[in-house]
């Protein structure tokens, strides 16, 4: 299996090299050259299998033998052994035809653990085999950072630098990152918003001198290894509701588009998905794009679902490439337009192709709080605000003959203030995090400037060849 860049100017790579690369050298994102297929008999046979076994079946064709099968199985068993629920990602019914897929039973209480616990083991394995070190960078609006730090802490082959927007993550998210004091973990609070963090991360990848000097690698969903691991729960949940014998729909709280893109991949692989619904908060660039055919940046506002306060939605580039019939030149021109002027237009054909598979809707903060309250009253179910954004939009797309699965991306205790204000309930942290507020913090505040971040990293990265 070869991986190609959405911008067409980077070398084709195998799975391990694509995972270590993170972002392609032409600034594009890697995608498999062809979509592996899983037929209906294989999907039916997934019923009642442990999550790690389904993960092995879904991920193996993408790895394509580059990691020995027994090693891959071992990594998956270990990764999902860190989850506190036997099913890893259980489904809960909240209404007739409406189900919530709980993705927050991992060590940091958000869906990012599903991919990050796998990716850290894969990277460690590849680097160990090659006797190499890497410098990992990541941008976070709160959850990617905590999951990545937890998964990579103490690993000998990697140093990890996570940029979060200063003061714009929840206190729980912040402390889950800044109280990890392992030597290979470096927290940067950037004087800017999440998009600024992400732009600096991408620009560091595009500075090839710096990139090669510190052996840069990334763990945001620009990394194909993240997406592939997120495909798995689309299969497990659909199968639990009768797939492949009946279709299901999914509604996904969306920011960087990695999670919902993983659903698109599952569909491409043969999972019968009726519709994928993109749910946004007030930062609704994706819904507007679906309505107008123009991707148009419009400033970020802070909401009660801060992990989705994003305008530059990285993985939309992967969908665009697909909708452009994999025309890399057109995709690159559109992405260059976004960088230069903050917008680009989709062709009518591309927009039409996207609309056949995706729906989109928005929930504002008042609607989100109201849905948290009514679902608690009617179903006795407490949701975090990101899940509630999606739940509200899912209700608009409900169809009587197709089950709707709303992805629950975070535990309510990660966002206690928003949960309390909507429902009057104090969402308590689980026992293993109950002393979070007593732990010592370590964080470095840096200005919103690429050279300041590069200087900081060069001084600390053990893979720095200039030292």
Ligand X SMILES: Cc1ncc(COP(=O)(O)O)c(C=O)c1O
* List 146, 236, 254, 281, residue binding ligand X (CB under 6 A): 254
The residue whose two tokens read 């690993």 is 155
Determine if 281 is a binding residue for ligand X (CB under 6 A): no
* List 5, 94, 187, 221, residue binding ligand LJ64HWYM (CB under 6 A): 221
Q: How far apart are the first and last CA of the chain?
A: 36
Determine if 305 is a binding residue for ligand LJ64HWYM (CB under 6 A): no
Q: How many residues bind ligand LJ64HWYM (CB under 6 A)?
A: 13
Determine if 107 is a binding residue for ligand LJ64HWYM (CB under 6 A): no
Residue span binding ligand X (CB under 6 A) among the ranges 24-32, 152-160, 251-259, 344-352: 251-259
Determine if 317 is a binding residue for ligand LJ64HWYM (CB under 6 A): no
For residue 109, the minimal CB distance to ligand LJ64HWYM (Å) is: 12
For residue 87, the minimal CB distance to ligand LJ64HWYM (Å) is: 23
Determine if 263 is a binding residue for ligand X (CB under 6 A): no
* List 5, 6, 108, 140, residue binding ligand LJ64HWYM (CB under 6 A): 140
Could you tell which of ligand LJ64HWYM, ligand X, none binds residue 27, using a CB distance below 5 to 8 A set by kind?
Answer: none
Determine if 117 is a binding residue for ligand LJ64HWYM (CB under 6 A): no
* List 22, 61, 90, 255, residue binding ligand LJ64HWYM (CB under 6 A): 255
Determine if 311 is a binding residue for ligand LJ64HWYM (CB under 6 A): no
Catalytic residue from among 49, 71, 112, 414? 112
* List 184, 215, 243, 307, residue binding ligand X (CB under 6 A): 307
Question: Which residue, 94 or 314, is less far from ligand LJ64HWYM as judged by CB?
Answer: 314
Residue span binding ligand LJ64HWYM (CB under 6 A) among the ranges 180-188, 250-258, 339-347, 387-395: 250-258
Question: Which residue, 216 or 222, is less far from ligand X as judged by CB?
Answer: 222
Determine if 244 is a binding residue for ligand LJ64HWYM (CB under 6 A): no
Give residues 145-164 in contact with ligand LJ64HWYM (rule: CB under 6 A): 145
Q: Is 112 a catalytic residue?
A: yes
Residue span binding ligand LJ64HWYM (CB under 6 A) among the ranges 252-260, 345-353, 444-452, 453-461: 252-260
Beta bridge partners of 13: 3
Could you tell which of ligand LJ64HWYM, ligand X, none binds residue 145, using a CB distance below 5 to 8 A set by kind?
Answer: ligand LJ64HWYM
Q: What is the SS3 string spanning the chain?
A: CCEEECCCCCCCECHHHHHHHCCCCCCCCEEECCCCCCCHHHHHCCCCCCHHHHHHHHHHHHHCCCCCHHHHHHHHHHHHHCCCCCCCCCEEEEECCEEEEECCCCCCCECHHHHHHHHHHHHHHHHHHHCCCEEEEEECCCHHHHHHHHHHCCCCCEEEEEEEECCCCCHHHHHHHHCCCCCCEEEEEECCCHHHHHHHHHHHHHCHHHHHHCCEEECCCCCHHHHHHHHHHHHHHHHHCCCCCCCEEEEEECCCCHHHHHHHHHHHCCCCEEEEEEEECCCCHHHHHHHHCEEECCCCCCCCCHHHCCCCCCCHHHHHHHHCCCCHHHHHHHHHHHHHHCEEECCHHHHHHHHHHEEEEECCHHHHHHHHHHHHHHHCCCCCHHHHHHHHHHHHHCECCECEEEEECECHHHCHHHHHHHHCCCCCCCHHHCCHHHCCCCCEEECCCHHHHHHHHHHHCCCCCCC
For residue 143, the minimal CB distance to ligand LJ64HWYM (Å) is: 3
Active-site residues: which are they?
Answer: 112
| Interface positions with ligand X (CB under 6 A) | 110, 143, 221, 253-259, 307-308, 386, 409-410
């Amino acid at each position: 299996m070869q991986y190609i860049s959405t911008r067409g100017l980077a070398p084709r790579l195998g799975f391990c090299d694509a995972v270590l690369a993170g972002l392609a050298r032409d600034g594009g994102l890697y995608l498999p050259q062809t979509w592996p297929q899983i037929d209906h008999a294989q999907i039916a046979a997934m019923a009642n299998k442990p999550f790690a076994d389904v993960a092995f079946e879904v991920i193996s064709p993408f790895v394509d033998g580059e990691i020995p099968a027994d090693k891959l199985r071992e990594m998956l068993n270990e990764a999902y052994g860190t989850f506190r629920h036997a099913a890893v990602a259980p489904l809960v019914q909240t209404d007739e035809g409406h189900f919530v897929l709980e993705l927050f039973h991992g060590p940091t209480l958000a869906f990012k653990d599903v991919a990050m616990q796998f990716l850290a083991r894969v990277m460690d394995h590849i680097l160990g085999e090659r006797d190499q070190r890497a410098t990992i960078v990541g941008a976070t609006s709160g959850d990617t950072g905590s999951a990545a730090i937890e998964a990579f802490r103490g690993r000998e082959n990697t140093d990890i630098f996570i940029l979060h927007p200063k003061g714009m993550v929840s206190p729980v998210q912040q402390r889950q990152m800044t109280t990890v004091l392992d030597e290979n973990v470096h927290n940067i609070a950037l004087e800017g918003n999440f998009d600024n963090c992400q732009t600096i991360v991408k620009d560091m990848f595009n500075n090839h001198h710096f990139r090669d000097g510190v052996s840069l690698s990334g763990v945001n969903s620009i990394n194909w290894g993240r997406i592939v691991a997120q495909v798995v729960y689309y299969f497990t949940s659909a199968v639990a509701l009768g797939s492949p014998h009946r279709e299901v729909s999914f509604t996904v709280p969306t920011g960087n588009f990695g999670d919902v893109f993983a659903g698109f991949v599952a569909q491409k692989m043969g999972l019968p998905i009726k519709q994928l619904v993109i749910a946004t908060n007030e930062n609704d660039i994706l819904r507007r794009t679906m309505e107008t055919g123009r991707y148009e940046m419009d400033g970020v506002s802070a909401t009660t679902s801060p992990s989705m306060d994003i305008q530059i939605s990285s993985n939309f580039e992967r969908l665009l490439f697909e909708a452009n019939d994999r025309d890399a030149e057109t995709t690159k021109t559109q992405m260059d337009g976004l960088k230069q002027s903050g917008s680009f237009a989709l062709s009518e054909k591309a927009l039409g192709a996207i609309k056949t598979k995706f729906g989109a809707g928005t929930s504002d903060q008042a609607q989100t709080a109201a849905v948290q309250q009514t679902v608690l009253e009617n179903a006795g179910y407490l949701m975090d605000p990101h899940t509630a954004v999606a739940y509200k939009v899912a209700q608009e797309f409900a169809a009587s003959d197709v089950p709707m699965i709303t992805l629950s991306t975070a535990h309510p205790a990660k966002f206690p203030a928003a949960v309390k204000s909507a429902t009057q309930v104090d969402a308590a942290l689980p026992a293993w995090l109950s002393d979070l507020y007593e732990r010592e913090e370590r964080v470095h505040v840096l200005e919103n400037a690429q050279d300041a971040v590069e200087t900081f990293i060069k001084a600390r990265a053990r893979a720095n060849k200039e030292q």
